[in-house]
Structure 1
Amino acid sequence: MMIRAITIHEKDDLAVALTDLPKGAEVTVNGKAITLQHTINAKHKFAMKDFHAGDEVHMYNVTVGKAKETIKTGEAVTTSNLAHQSESFSAEDKSANAFQWTSPDVSPWKDATFMGYHRKDGQVGTANYWLVFPLVFCENRNIETIKKAFDKALGLEKQDPYVALVENMVDRFRKNELSDASVLDFKLDTTTHISKARVFENIDGIRFLTHQGGCGGTRQDAETLCRLLSGYVNNPNVAGATVLSLGCQNAQVQMFTDALHSINPTIDKPIIIHDQQDTGKEQELIKNSITETFMALIEANKQTREPAPLSKLTIGLECGGSDGFSGISANPAIGYTSDLVVALGGKAILSEFPELCGVERELINRMDTQELAVKFVDIMRRYEKSAVEAGSGFDMNPSPGNIKDGLITDAMKSAGAAKKGGTSPITDILDYTEYAHKPGLNLLCTPGNDVESTTGLAGSGANIILFTTGLGTPTGNPISPVLKLSSNSKLAAKMPDIIDIDTGKVITGEKTIEEMGSEILNYIIEVASGHKTAKSMDLEQYDFIPWKRGVSL
């Protein structure tokens, strides 16, 4: 018989419905029989005891809210009767005793490897891309022109099934045969087609980035953009880059090269830089950029995949479109995967600082040093202060979709989101655009915004990204494969084109968190070796949005 409701921690006073529960039903949770006062939909919560106005409410053994009014045992917990409330924290919360961690058994992967691209600085890529990007938005059109030329000539241009759809509609319109039925009957051919045989077999693609920054904003914005772009060039999935500059913008070439050498003083990748105001004619700029890039691609194509230990993995940990099951299935599953990677000597990067609200004490206690705790608290305080000054706050983080599917306070959402970071010690705290150099679990300051956050993860060195979702989020990244993990099987069945891995079997009890986390690691190895592709890459979801450090939750 399927369990109908659970508490995530034995001390919690809210229970989560694992299936739709009718009003009046008697549900037994932790040996206590509770009669439901309302219909409780799957993923939503109900009270395990009576609460008075002002009482703190707990899940994951942390405070996730405060009762606005009396809530009776068995009543649904909603935004109307529960307000955001989280526990206070400070750098002094770090225990004087060293954090004790029992690492998972990694003997099944002791001698495991993945087939990656070895870079001269010791990093290993899970892919081999060439980057083309501007330092300022004025060059976006030139980037698009170069993209069109390379995609067509190198066999990277893919047939678009929607073009065929419109062509079919045009044809029927001209014949006066167009109707709603005829349109609905048209079958899309979504099979990926390459127009020509690939010229460079060892190059996974050329990624063309465009953005709206580099000038017109603050100098700090330009500096941040240059640091982010330099992180992309340094990412092990990148073989080299072509950079276009106008010449007069805030994001100067020197600013970019300084940022690049601050991340990696000994970087030895080919970087082609062209300045339009120095070159003169636009045609010359584009011609020179294309010809030099092509010659560089010939050299980059000589690199081949070779075995690499799993310690060379740097996994990014992200969630988006979360639901009430995310913190029970998908997030703790990749948390276990994170622990496995860390135990194997690799790196894991947990992002989204607004979604760590309420679990700061636990995280602080896991930090290697007091200095890390001080840095973490300082970044969190400054970020929250900027949000409040703009008339917002971390309490406004849950989206309408989150709330609809059971995440009704930021602390509740954060407690589940933090499970992505597993249980290992925290070895470093990274501010936005700082690069991950230390093995172990790194915390990276990004907003909760999905694309801004995944953009930051790749810029900090993630060579593969795990992205959990309960509602379905079509986010990808240009250079780091983004694997989507559904928190529930219903979503995986509904959106199979974007979901790579279904963790819903954790909810039904068919698999444990440990079994699911192990399965995810094996899947990562396949993708990192080029044996499988992330569906986000198949769909060309090459999302790139730099964070300007304004208020973005």
Structure 2
Amino acid sequence: MNHKTLQIHPKDNVLVALQDLKAGENISFSGNDIILKDDVPAKHKFAINDLIKGAQVFMYGGIVGKALSTISSGGVLSTQNVTHEAEDFGEKTGDYLWDAPDISKFKDKTFMGFHRPDGQVGTGNYWLVIPMVFCENRNVDIIKDAFIEELGFGKPNPFKKMVREMASLYKSGQSRSFDTVSVETLVEKTEDRLFENIDGIKFLNHQVGCGGTRTDSQALCALIAGYINNPNVAGATILSLGCQNAQSSFMEEKLRLINPDFKKPLIILEQQVEGTEQQMLTRAIKETFVGMAEANTQSRESAPLSKLVVGLECGGSDGFSGISANPAVGYAADLVVALGGTAILSEFPELCGVEQELINRCVSDEKAERFSSLMRLYAAAAEASGSGFDMNPSPGNIKDGLITDAMKSSGAAKKGGTSPVTDVLDYGEYVNTPGLNLLCTPGNDVESTTAMAGAGANVILFTTGLGTPTGNPVTPVIKVSSNHKLAERMPDIIDINTGFVISGEKNIQQMGEEILEKVIKVASGEEKSKAMKLGQDDFIPWKRGVSL
């Protein structure tokens, strides 16, 4: 990689600008001189040779767009001269041979986790309080208010003192002095928690469970069942109204399908049966306290890295994501798989254009056919609702060089590394096969991370080029920056900076190994990810067919 431009694949007919380039600048490439016709911001692409109207644009060795008008050699690609186009896909072809990475550095390493009766190992030990329907959100909040501070799980809010000072100035008629008010640095409380072996009690409010489609309610039941079964969860309290579509009995049925021998503490209360609100809340709080006391008897023990289930996510992507952060995470995922562990690649709208590659990587025709079917059904549903995968890139993506969905997808898929696809899951299904699993979710960051935790992920790697505060209530989310500027600008959310790949100081293998080392520390409870420190507990069930 030189310091100015990069051709990602020999078949590509565009170069990526690694730094801001000016119109008229001479770029030497493959023995030829390319005179830039336009300013090319870092992360954007320009044509190597003339691209006539209708010509296909190639990146990562595949089709990522089509020229809407002739683009001269040295001309920058934009939404005005390029539109989305992707390769079609069909049946699985050939036998996939995987060149697994060297795992000698990690084969004898372990992490300290919570061993569950079913053989899963958690990277945390959380108690959940979840409503079956939005009608119970207020009761969940009441329980939260009762527990958080008293059990030592509260987080300081430095902005309270700031508002108090501003209110005092306002009362004294000194509103113009607001600029003198500053916020204190966030410092975590240091007092001991009552339950020292419990990492937190999490409250998962949501807006579904009734009034929508039966499909969404059933999907919610499956999602909640997955969260209860997640190895990071010690036990759960479920609040049901009673008359809603998302019946707790259906959730229990889903839970039995996932784990017929489920043995964790599980409290299910139905308000229309319990009587008054006070009666239900009194019982919920007492039984939850007893359940947490039981969960507190568990402690961390050594576990092989084969017990890692790593979710792979990207959000706020930029033109460097597919060059640095995503392939580095992909290498870490390959290491986990080679060690006998599991990786989950989701965000199906962001696999558009790379379907055939993933189909060919499937371990069987059956898995390949299921992936193909889920992709086509999802695409058709999106188009029927007036959208399409081609509408996926956000304004931020486009501004930073990802101008078509196929261009975005080709880079996003790199998070999945190169290992064989061992299983294909629909939304709400739970991982039970080691290796790389494909999970049908939207590209929406929170809906996707929510689904991966519900599928059993005990840690999530999340790449970003623009910055995003997304986290998860029960599964640690580790943020990976694609570039130096983001890591320097938003150090409060970034855990690892792969911008060193862009600057040429490190390679993908080095960064991938560094990422896995960070995973081991977080999984062992030695370190908290930035999302955990900030209390970023995002939970949004997918209203299927609406989100991209």
Structure 2 residue aligned with 1:285: 280
Structure 1 residue aligned with 2:77: 77
Q: Deviations over 1:121-175 (max 9, x none)?
A: 0000000000001101111000000000001211112221111111010111222
2:309 corresponds to which letter in structure 1? T
Structure 2 residue aligned with 1:32: 32
Equivalent of 2:98, from 93, 101, 112? 101
Structure 1 residue aligned with 2:88: 88
Q: CA RMSD in A?
A: 1.1
Cα distance in structure 2, aligned partners of 1:245 and 1:190: 40
Contact 2:316-2:397 at 8 Å conserved across structures = yes
SS in 1 for 2:70: coil
Equivalent of 2:171, from 174, 184, 187? 174
Q: Which moved more, 1:71-80 or 1:184-193?
A: 184-193
Contact 1:158-1:193 at 8 Å conserved across structures = yes
The structural deviation recorded for 1:183 is: 2.6
Structure 2 residue aligned with 1:461: 456
Structure 1 residue aligned with 2:503: 508
2:216 corresponds to which letter in structure 1? D
1:416 corresponds to which letter in structure 2? G
Structure 1 residue aligned with 2:520: 525
Structure 2 residue aligned with 1:19: 19
Contact 2:157-2:186 at 8 Å conserved across structures = no
Cα distance in structure 1, aligned partners of 2:419 and 2:530: 29
What TM-score do the two structures reach when normalised by structure 1? 0.98
Q: Deviations over 1:350-401 (max 9, x none)?
A: 0100000001111111000000111011100110001111111000000000
SS in 1 for 2:246: coil
The structural deviation recorded for 1:196 is: 4.8
Contact 2:57-2:65 at 8 Å conserved across structures = yes
The structural deviation recorded for 1:537 is: 1.0
The structural deviation recorded for 1:2 is: 5.3
Cα distance in structure 2, aligned partners of 1:184 and 1:398: 38
SS in 2 for 1:273: strand
SS in 2 for 1:152: coil
Equivalent of 2:419, from 417, 424, 432? 424
Contact 1:156-1:196 at 8 Å conserved across structures = no
Cα distance in structure 2, aligned partners of 1:115 and 1:58: 45
Matched, 1:140 2:151: no
Equivalent of 2:120, from 111, 123, 142? 123
The structural deviation recorded for 1:406 is: 0.1
What TM-score do the two structures reach when normalised by structure 2? 0.99
Following superposition of structure 1 onto structure 2, how do residues 83-482 of structure 1 map, counting pairs within 5 Å? 83-90=83-90, 92=91, 94-95=92-93, 97-179=94-176, 182-194=177-189, 196-482=191-477
Structure 1 residue aligned with 2:67: 67
The structural deviation recorded for 1:27 is: 1.1
Contact 1:54-1:69 at 8 Å conserved across structures = yes
Cα distance in structure 2, aligned partners of 1:158 and 1:62: 47
Structure 1 residue aligned with 2:537: 542
Q: Deviations over 1:87-121 (max 9, x none)?
A: 0111x2x12x3210110000111110000000000
Identity %: 61
Alignment coverage as a number of residue pairs? 548
Structure 1 residues 185 and 426: alpha-carbon distance in aligned structure 2, compared to 1, 3 A threshold: same
SS in 2 for 1:108: coil
SS in 2 for 1:497: coil
Q: Which moved more, 1:187-196 or 1:264-273?
A: 187-196
Q: Deviations over 1:432-462 (max 9, x none)?
A: 1111110000011100001101100100010
Gaps of at least 5 residues in structure 2 are: none
Contact 1:51-1:71 at 8 Å conserved across structures = yes
Contact 1:336-1:513 at 8 Å conserved across structures = yes
The structural deviation recorded for 1:193 is: 3.5
The structural deviation recorded for 1:197 is: 2.9
